[in-house]
Amino acid sequence: MKSISCGIDFGTSNSSIALALPDQVALVETENGHMTIPSAMFFLRKDNTAFYGREAMELFLDKRPGRLMRSLKRVLGTPVMRQGTMVNGEVMKFDQIIAAFLQKLKDRAELQAGQAITAVTMGRPVHFTDNNPEADKRAEAELAAIARQLGFEQVSFQFEPIAAAFAHEQHITTEKLALVVDLGGGTSDFTVIRLSKNYQNKADRAQDILANTGVRVGGNDLDKDLSLAAIMPILGYRSTYGEKNLEVPLYHYHDLSEWSKVNMLYTTRILFQVKQLLFEAHDKVKYKRLLQVLEEETGHSLLAATEETKIALTHSETYDTSFRFLEEGLTSSVARSQFEEAISGRVSKISQTALACVEAAGITPDAIELVILTGGTTEVPKVQQVFHSLFPKAEVSGENKLSSVGLGLAYDSRNKFA
């Protein structure tokens, strides 16, 4: 039996795995007909049994007692990775949690392949952490150690935007100078690369890659901006209290707007602080909703409502966000223009980083012939408008937005390990 390899795209929001077979590269069905799986885990409170992906989200939204975890990729390279976290009263290390999630992907791939897989190309952002080379090296080393723990004897890494380029390269007919725009949940990464069918089997593509840049801004950050602009005000965000009309503490709202920080708010100390402040709050109705969210531990439901609103606004100009889990009939109308205004700073940072990549390649924007959009954040209309305007002469391709990185990593693994 010939040995085979795979590519794993462990994403902040979604993940995928693809097999590099002798005669083809194929995505693995990760979950009930889906080729991608949300990077989410849910631990039941009674015995810490773990559930994954869509099933994890459904259990959480059905208000089953337990702990939801998302955005695990963002802890790589940070002090939190070593500290671990409490999960239903049990201390768990993040390498154990991430390993369990990736083991799920590996098991599905080996089931589809009918054999063990011992070689993998892992995707990674250009920068796990901005302006911190040591943390960046540590993040890759942590992910490599987890991969070896799962039984992968050969482990390599490839930048995610380069992997997306490899997937797209399978379908082009002439050589093109391309800019890959990979906007994931946690990072935005860019690569200028020469693509051609004639280059597909080259093990070393260093000469074809003109530049890489990246910034730690992604879809989760857009969610946070939307949450603070349109969701948190119903909980009293930026309302006042006391005789001096002071603004209520904002950090509760900021933490409620990030998947990786929500669970840190459910402490006795924070509940006491909010209860004390409620007596002096000028808008007691709204501020009491904040207390309700903390007491009932429904912060993730707020984030799910935010994400739902963001997705809806990609197709509609307005959306009525429901907060039934707080009060029956409670809704808030959110306009796309409100969302676009809230994320304008982030989008500007993304576009500046893309242009910096083109400049680093020693070319002008007019030289780009193809822009490849990958990652769920590229669905946002404002983002698409920006890249069409930055590169008006280029063809813009957005096929396989959520799975192209996984496919490209498998192509890369076949070239490296065949």
Specify the amino acid at residue 306. T
Q: How much is the pLDDT for 8?
A: 98
Q: What is the mean pLDDT of residues 59-76?
A: 88
Query: What tokens appear for 336 in the block?
Result: 């796309």
Which residue, among 217, 19, 206, has the nearest Cα to 127 in the 3D structure?
217
Dihedral Cα 367, 370, 374, 376, nearest 10 deg: 90
Average predicted confidence (pLDDT) for the chain: 92
Using a CB cutoff of 8 Å and minimum separation of 24, what contacts does 272-278 make?
273/249, 277/241, 277/248, 277/249
Kindly report, residue by residue over 345-361, the tens digit of the pLDDT: 999 999 999 999 999 99
Could you tell me the pTM of the whole model?
Answer: 0.86
Return the HEC string of the chain: CCCCEEEEECCCCEEEEEEECCCCEEECCCECCECCEECEEEEECCCCCEEEHHHHHHHHHCCCCEEEEECHHHHCCCHHHHHCEEECCEEECHHHHHHHHHHHHHHHHHHHHCCCCCEEEEEECCCCCCCCHHHHHHHHHHHHHHHHHCCCCEEEEEEHHHHHHHHHHCCCCCCEEEEEEEECCCCEEEEEEEECHHHCCCCCCHHHEEEEEEECCCHHHHHHHHHHHHHHHHHCCCCEECCCCEECCCHHHHHHCCCCCHHHHCCHHHHHHHHHHHCCECCHHHHHHHHHHHHHCCHHHHHHHHHHHHHHCCCCCEEEEECCCCCCCCEEEEEHHHHHHHHHHHHHHHHHHHHHHHHHCCCCHHHCCEEEEECHHHHCHHHHHHHHHHCCCCEEECCCCCCHHHHHHHHHHHHHHC
Lowest mean pLDDT among 7-21, 193-207, 385-399: 193-207
How do strand 370-374 and strand 176-183 relate by DSSP bridges? Answer: parallel
Kindly report, residue by residue over 160-218, the tens digit of the pLDDT: 999 999 998 888 888 999 999 999 888 899 999 999 887 777 667 788 899 999 999 99
Kindly report, residue by residue over 93-114, the tens digit of the pLDDT: 999 999 999 999 999 999 999 9
Q: Band the pLDDT of 401: cuts 50, 70, 90.
A: confident
Q: How far is CA 182 from CA 123, 177, 255, in A?
A: 12, 16, 26
- Are 19 and 2 spatial neighbours (Cβ–Cβ below 8 Å)? no
Q: How much is the pLDDT for 203?
A: 66
Q: How much is the pLDDT for 181?
A: 95
CA distance 43 to 46: 9
φ/ψ (deg, to 5) at 43? -110, 120
Q: Band the pLDDT of 1: cuts 50, 70, 90.
A: low
Q: What is the mean pLDDT of residues 247-271?
A: 90
Q: How much is the pLDDT for 139?
A: 95
Specify the amino acid at residue 277. L
Contacts of 355 (CB under 8 A, 6+ apart): 365, 390
* Choice between 199 and 153, residue whose per-residue pLDDT is larger: 153
CA distance 165 to 177: 11
CA distance 28 to 109: 6
Other CB atoms within a 10 A radius of the CB of residue 388 amount to 12
Is residue 260 scored above 80 in pLDDT? no
Which residue, among 243, 262, 240, has the nearest Cα to 251 in the 3D structure?
262
Contacts of 166 (CB under 8 A, 6+ apart): 200, 407, 408, 409, 411, 412
CA distance 114 to 112: 6
Other CB atoms within a 10 A radius of the CB of residue 157 amount to 17
Q: Band the pLDDT of 313: cuts 50, 70, 90.
A: very high
* Domains present along the chain, CATH in parentheses: 5-173+399-417 (3.30.420.40), 220-340 (no CATH)
Q: What is the mean pLDDT of residues 300-314?
A: 93
Q: How much is the pLDDT for 62?
A: 85
Query: What tokens appear for 298 in the block?
Result: 């429904």
**Please, which residues bridge with residue 371 across strands?**
179, 396
